[in-house]
């Protein structure tokens, strides 16, 4: 897959990032390098390799009991919100 200037502009629009015209050549080159590296990773044979959750063999994650420790802390949580309304967080609309 290759990224051109129009694709860079589309990605910037989706990410809501303003990209100056002079940076387009640099960015499409960088994105193409990243995609090339990902394609190299796809060529690695991983058959028979178990997924890892840690880089240390045999390491097990500590587990805790899944228990409710404090009930109905809605007011405490919403106290951190800049604009709570009717028991919920108010967030900006992101759908156009």
CB 10 within 8 A of CB 40: no
Q: Parse the chain into domains and list their residue ranges.
A: 5-42
Give the mean model confidence (pLDDT) for residues 21-33.
89
More confident residue, 71 or 66: 66
Rounded to whole angstroms, how far apart are CA atoms 4 and 24?
9
The pLDDT tens digits of the residues spanning 70-85 come to: 788 888 889 989 999 9
Nearest alpha carbon to residue 29 among 37, 79, 45, 48: 37
Q: pLDDT grade, residue 25 (50/70/90)? A: confident
Closest CA to 74 of 88, 62, 85, 63: 88
Which CA distances in Å does 81 have to 41, 70, 78, 85, 86?
A: 42, 19, 5, 10, 12
Locate tokens 């995609």: which residue?
A: 35
Please tell me whether the overall predicted TM-score, pTM, comes out greater than 0.85 for this model: no
């Amino acid at each position: 897959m290759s990224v051109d200037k129009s694709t860079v502009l589309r990605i910037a629009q989706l990410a809501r990032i303003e990209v100056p015209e002079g940076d387009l050549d640099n960015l499409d080159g960088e994105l193409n390098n990243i995609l090339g590296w990902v394609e190299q990773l796809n060529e690695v044979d991983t058959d028979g390799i178990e997924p890892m959750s840690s880089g240390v063999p045999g390491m097990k994650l500590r587990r805790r009991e899944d228990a409710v420790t404090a009930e109905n802390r809605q007011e405490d949580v919403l106290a951190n919100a800049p604009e709570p309304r009717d028991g919920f967080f108010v967030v900006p609309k992101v759908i156009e």
